[in-house]
């Protein structure tokens, strides 16, 4: 399997572990073309391009809950978290999505210059590709998990899954953080949990927000999607995708299962049924449909089941017979 095919596989894997409700008809927030499925025919490059185009399709930005706003595309989630001292932007999409994200921020009535901090779910082109442009446009400080810093600063070189296939504009990290570190601006605190495996520094961010007098625990889930091309075991003829990947995934699932979550958000819209919840929200659903603790636990359980299937499939003839602690 070549690298472009792997990239297609990531998209497919993301959809598989997402709710079956997601990949359906066009939704009010998205233009009709947005929900067009990736072409099944053509070369792997054609399919990768079609999958990326569907993910990038514009989506009307909207207020999610409390001080949290959606400024991403149909498939790729990006968030503005507002504070009295300026705003935080979590993820940017692909590099060529930067104008779209910037316009979404402005459409909501925010100024690019109000963005003071940039944070990232993980150092892949579809989530951090626009960081260099957004950093330039906002003048914000970029804060990132130590293990993903080399990939951000090199523009995706030596990626554990994609190698040099999915490069993006490199960006300087201003503050390097570690598991459990916090980012505070204007009295709003975001906590960073290392939930690695998808990349060595994949980060799940949490915060609290208030609406109608109630406080809610918010989880911005990084990606916990494992794919068959993740080599979880280090075999003589087939090295692990990166050293420690299996223990990283195991740790990530232990962490995300234990996080208190009222408001379920994530790096891809499909992970948390973004379109369906958006439509319910704009139609006046009460309580806010993004308050979905059961949906969070169900998504994590589906993702872990998918991961365990891959573990089992790789524990074949020449794999270790015992589980890694
Ligand atoms: Zn990724």
Quick one: average pLDDT of 104-122?
Answer: 98
Beta bridge partners of 144: 176
Does the pTM surpass 0.85? The reply is: yes
Token pair 């020449």 is found at 318
Structure tokens at 61: 């930005």
Dump pLDDT digits (tens) for 62-72: 999 999 999 99
In angstroms, what is the span from residue 161 Cα to ligand 1's centroid?
9
CATH H-level, domain 3-37+54-314: superfamily: Ribonuclease Z/Hydroxyacylglutathione hydrolase-like (3.60.15.10)
Contacts of 248 (CB under 8 A, 6+ apart): 196, 197, 200
If you measure from the C-alpha of residue 285 to the centroid of ligand 1, how many angstroms do you get, rounded to a whole number? Answer: 31
Compute, in angstroms, the gap from residue 85 CA to the centroid of ligand 1: 31
Label residue 38 by pLDDT band (50, 70, 90).
very low
Position 37 scores a pLDDT of 44
Distance of CA 65 to the CA centre of its chain: 19
Ligand 1 centre to CA of 127 (Å) is 7
* Residue 286 Cα to ligand 1 middle (Å): 33
Q: Where are the domains of the chain?
A: 3-37+54-314
Residue 318 has pLDDT above 50, yes or no: no
* Span from the CA of 24 to the centroid of ligand 1 (angstroms): 23
Q: Is the pLDDT of residue 247 over 60?
A: yes
Instruction: Tell me, in angstroms, the distance from the centre of ligand 1 to residue 124's CA.
Output: 5
Q: Is the per-residue pLDDT at 246 higher than 60? A: yes
Of the two residues 98 and 13, the one the predictor is more confident about is 98
Strands 115-119 and 188-194: unpaired
More confident residue, 30 or 42: 42
Ligand 1 centroid to Cα of residue 18, in Å, is 15
Angle at 196 between CA 195 and CA 197, to 5 degrees: 135
Q: What is the pLDDT of residue 44?
A: 86
Q: How far apart are CA 219 and CA 305, in angstroms?
A: 20
Instruction: Round to whole Å and give the CA distance between 85 and 64.
Output: 20
Tell me the per-residue pLDDT of 127-151, one tens digit each, with 9 for 90 and over. 999 999 999 999 999 999 999 999 9
Q: With bands split at pLDDT 50, 70 and 90, how would you rate the model's confidence at 40? A: low
84, pLDDT greater than 90: yes
């Amino acid at each position: 399997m070549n690298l472009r095919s792997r990239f297609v596989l990531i998209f497919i894997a993301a959809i598989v572990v997402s709710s079956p409700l997601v990949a359906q008809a066009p939704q009010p927030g998205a233009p009709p073309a947005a929900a067009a499925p990736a072409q099944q025919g053509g070369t792997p490059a054609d399919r990768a391009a079609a999958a990326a185009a569907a993910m990038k399709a514009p989506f009307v930005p909207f207020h999610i809950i409390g001080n949290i706003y959606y400024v991403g595309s149909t498939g790729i989630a990006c968030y503005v978290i507002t504070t009295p001292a300026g705003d935080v932007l979590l993820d940017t999409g692909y590099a060529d999505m930067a104008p779209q994200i910037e316009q979404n921020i402005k459409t909501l009535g925010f100024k690019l210059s109000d963005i003071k901090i940039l944070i990232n779910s993980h150092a892949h082109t579809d989530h951090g590709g626009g960081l260099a442009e957004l950093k330039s446009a906002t003048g914000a400080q970029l804060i990132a998990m130590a293990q993903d810093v080399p990939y951000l600063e090199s523009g995706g070189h030596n990626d554990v899954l994609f190698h040099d296939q999915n490069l993006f504009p490199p960006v300087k990290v201003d503050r390097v953080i570690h598991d459990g570190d916090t980012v505070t601006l204007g009295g709003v605190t975001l906590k960073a949990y290392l939930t690695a495996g998808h990349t060595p520094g994949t980060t799940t961010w949490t915060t609290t927000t208030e609406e109608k007098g109630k406080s809610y625990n918010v989880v911005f889930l990084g990606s916990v999607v494992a794919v068959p091309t993740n080599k979880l075991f280090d075999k003589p003829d087939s090295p692990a995708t990166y050293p420690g990947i299996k223990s990283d995934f195991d740790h990530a699932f232990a962490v995300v299962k234990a996080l208190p979550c009222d408001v379920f958000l994530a790096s891809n819209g499909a992970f948390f049924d973004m379109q369906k919840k958006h439509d319910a929200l704009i139609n006046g659903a009460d309580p806010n449909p993004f308050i979905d603790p059961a949906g969070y636990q169900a998504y994590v359980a589906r993702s872990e089941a998918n991961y365990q299937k891959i573990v089992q499939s790789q524990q074949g003839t020449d794999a270790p017979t015992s589980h890694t602690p």
